[in-house]
Amino acid sequence: MSFVAAQLPHRVQPPLKMPLASAFPQGFGSGCFSELLRQNALVAVFALNDWRAWTVDSLGILDAHEHERVRRQRRERDRDRLALAYALHRLLLAQALGLVPARVPLARDAHGRPLLEGLQVDTSLSHSDGHVAVAVSLHGPIGVDIEPVQRVDAMADIAERICHGDERTRIAGRRDAGRGAALLDLWVRKEAFLKAAGVGLAREMDTFALPEGEPTALHPGRFMRVRTDLLDLGPDVVCAVSCRPDIVCVAGRPWPMGESAQP
C-alpha cells in the first residue's frame, strides 16, 4: 500500500444556509469517490471546525442509534463533535456508494465497529479532539486511527501498554522528543490495525509487534494480511490506515472554505 497525495478535495465556498447534505458533495467532484474506490482504499480526514456551521443540521442525518450515542455524551461540545463525526461518516459513505444518507445501512457490531449491512464494503471511523478520519474500502478489511500531535507528551506514561518486545527496546533508545513521537506513531498504527481486525482494544497492544512497512497477519494463524502505514495529512495530526498490502490508499482533507462557511 502506498500513500497518494490527495487530488480529490476542492476548496469551495458554500453559503452558510446550504444544508449539510447539499454542501458536502461540493467539496469533491461528481462521482470522484465511487471512481477512486474501484481500485483504491479511501481515507478522508475532516477538521470539525471547518464544518461547525452545520452542527445543528448534522442531527437530521443521523439514525436513532446514532442519536442515542450522541445524547449519552455529557458535554455539549462532545455531543456536537460526535454528531458531526457521525454525519460526515454517513455522508461520505452515501457519496461513495451512490446512496442517499438515510439509505446507508450503517450499523455497529458487538465491539462498536461500524459495518455496512448487506454490502461487501468495509469502513472505519476515528474521531479525536476535533478531527475525524473516515476510511472506506471495497477490497477487504480496513482500519483508521487519528490523534492530535499534542498527545505526544502523554505517551511516556503508557509506553508499557503500547510496546511489545523489541519495540520497547528500540523506542527506549531514542531521545526524549523522538521517543514520544515514536510512541504516538506506534499507538496510532496499532489502533488502525486492531480496527481492521475488528477487535479494537479487546486485544492488548503490548501482546503483538507491528513492524513498519511489512504485511502482518490480521489474526494469528490466518492467511489475511494487512499493511499499516502512517499518512502524511498535516502537522497537526497523526493518522494511520491498515488495509490489504496490494491496495493503494488515497487520502485527503476535504473542507468547505471561505468566510461564509464560518458561523
**For residue 167, is it within any domain?**
yes
- What confidence tens digit (pLDDT) does each residue in 106-164 have? 999 888 899 999 999 999 999 998 999 999 999 999 999 999 999 998 888 888 889 98
In a domain, 12, yes or no: yes
Cell output for 238: 497523526
Look up cell 451512490; give the residue. 98
Q: Does residue 262 lie within any of the structural domains?
A: no
Q: What is the pLDDT of residue 244?
A: 93
**Residue 147 domain-assigned (yes or no):** yes
Would residue 28 count as lying in a domain?
yes
The answer to whether 47 touches 258, Cβ cutoff 8 Å, is no
Residue 199 has what pLDDT?
A: 82
In this prediction, residue 107 carries a pLDDT of 93
Residue 78 domain boundaries: 3-256
Which residues of 5-164 form beta strands (DSSP E)?
Answer: 40-47, 106-108, 114-116, 122-128, 131-137, 142-148
263 located within any domain: no
Predicted local distance difference test score (pLDDT) of residue 84: 95
Identify the CATH number of the domain in which residue 82 sits.
Answer: 3.90.470.20
The pLDDT value given to residue 61: 92
Q: Look up residue 126 and give its three cell numbers.
A: 476515528
Q: Helices 64-71 & 76-97, crossing angle to 10 degrees?
A: 160
- Tell which residue, 70, 29, 26, has the closest CA to residue 51: 26
Q: What is the pLDDT of residue 259?
A: 35
Judge whether 64 lies within some domain: yes
Number of separate domains in the chain: 1
* C-alpha–C-alpha distance, residues 82 and 48, integer Å: 10
Counts of helices then strands in the chain (DSSP H, E):
9, 11
d(CA 84, CA 177): 33
Q: CA distances (Å), 98 to each of 35, 87, 89, 94, 162, in order?
A: 11, 16, 14, 6, 39
Question: What pLDDT does residue 258 have?
Answer: 43
pTM as predicted: 0.86
Q: Is residue 223 in some structural domain?
A: yes
Give me the residues of the chain with pLDDT under 50, please. Answer: 1-16, 30, 257-263
**What is the rounded distance in angstroms from the CA atom of residue 86 to the CA atom of residue 69?**
10
